[in-house]
Amino acid sequence: MALLSVVLPAKNESRAVGQTVQAIAHAWPDAEIIVVNDGSSDATAAVAQAAGARVVNHPYSKGNGAAVKSGARAATGDVLVFMDADGQHNPADIQRLLERMDQGYDMVVGARKKGSQASLGRGLANGFYNWLASWMTGHRVEDLTSGFRAVRASKFREFLYLLPNGFSYPTTSTMAFFRAGYSVAYVPIHAAQRIGKSHLRVVPDGVRFLLIIFKIGTLYSPLKIFAPIALLMFMLASGWYGWTYFSAGRFTNMSALLYSGSVLVFLLGLISEQITALMYKGEG
């Protein structure tokens, strides 16, 4: 089997990171375990190092995605496994991800089963993201935002420049793999209750996740977002023109504005499609 590197982004996870590292080391004694300490104010780095992990330190907090990128750059394994340091993910599930990867997949994601979500709201939001991503890609996406995944290191590093520094790295990496024509699979897992306090904030992160929806579209196929909007504007313009023509016998400025807007939106979609193609130039 290829050399395995397990990367754990961690910020103020001193309560959980030690036992997580020990559990991984027990299950995979030959694996390289890297804890990326993202500017923690507690003893996360010391606890992780004492447990046997290699620690990469950020001098200040840069974000979960930035920690993932630092870990990917530091790792020496041919296969990378990303998982949370807070005790949510079971190291025993790594075997199941790797077995699926041996079937020829480039990325295998641990898809959280029902009952694993932290709250009803987050569960509904994730369901919507999964539906949207499935529509965009034409493939069933079972868990777009899961941070527990195994990837081929060489392919994952191709997209480091695309990954955001925040919590949305799973979304971006999944869509990038689909866009490049790489194979993605899902393995059902159960995510346990995390140890310690979540770093997610309801309102700011809720707004951020809404923006992810549009990012999904621009990452994969912008026309799938822009074209329906342009069509809707064109239909509204035609409907309004029909109403004003038969009721007043004239063509109004509103119809002209909607027709012009529909053309502009469609052209923006075409331009975005070309930019997206350039982003993945030479990949896949």
Segments forming the whole domain that contains residue 247: 223-279
Cα–Cα dist 268/161, whole Å: 24
Write the DSSP symbol of residue 256.
H
Q: Does residue 99 sit in helix, strand or coil?
A: helix
Instruction: Return the pLDDT at 198.
Output: 52
192 plus 245 within the same structural domain: no
Please state the domain count of the chain. 2
For residue 209, being part of any structural domain is answered with: no
Q: Tally Cβ neighbours within 10 Å of residue 260.
A: 12
pLDDT > 90? residue 67: yes
Average pLDDT in the chain: 86
C-alpha distance from residue 37 to each of 12, 21, 30, 137, 149 (Å):
8, 13, 22, 34, 19
Write the DSSP symbol of residue 187.
E
pLDDT per position as a tens digit, 7-50: 999 999 999 999 999 999 999 999 999 999 999 999 999 999 99
pLDDT per position as a tens digit, 145-175: 899 999 999 999 999 988 888 777 898 899 8
Cα–Cα dist 263/250, whole Å: 21
110 plus 161 within the same structural domain: yes
pLDDT per position as a tens digit, 232-276: 999 999 999 999 988 888 888 999 999 999 999 999 999 988 888
* pLDDT cut 70: percent of the chain above it: 87
Residue 66 sits in a domain whose CATH number is 3.90.550.10
163 plus 239 within the same structural domain: no
129 plus 240 within the same structural domain: no
Q: Tally Cβ neighbours within 10 Å of residue 22.
A: 16
243 plus 169 within the same structural domain: no
For residue 59, being part of any structural domain is answered with: yes
145 plus 30 within the same structural domain: yes
191 plus 236 within the same structural domain: no
49 plus 107 within the same structural domain: yes
Instruction: Return the pLDDT at 81.
Output: 97
Instruction: Return the pLDDT at 79.
Output: 97
pLDDT per position as a tens digit, 73-104: 999 999 999 999 988 899 999 999 999 999 99
Instruction: Return the pLDDT at 175.
Output: 87
More confident call, 283 vs 195: 195
pLDDT > 70? residue 214: yes
87 plus 190 within the same structural domain: yes
pLDDT > 70? residue 127: yes
Cα–Cα dist 117/125, whole Å: 10
76 plus 126 within the same structural domain: yes
Cα–Cα dist 251/245, whole Å: 6
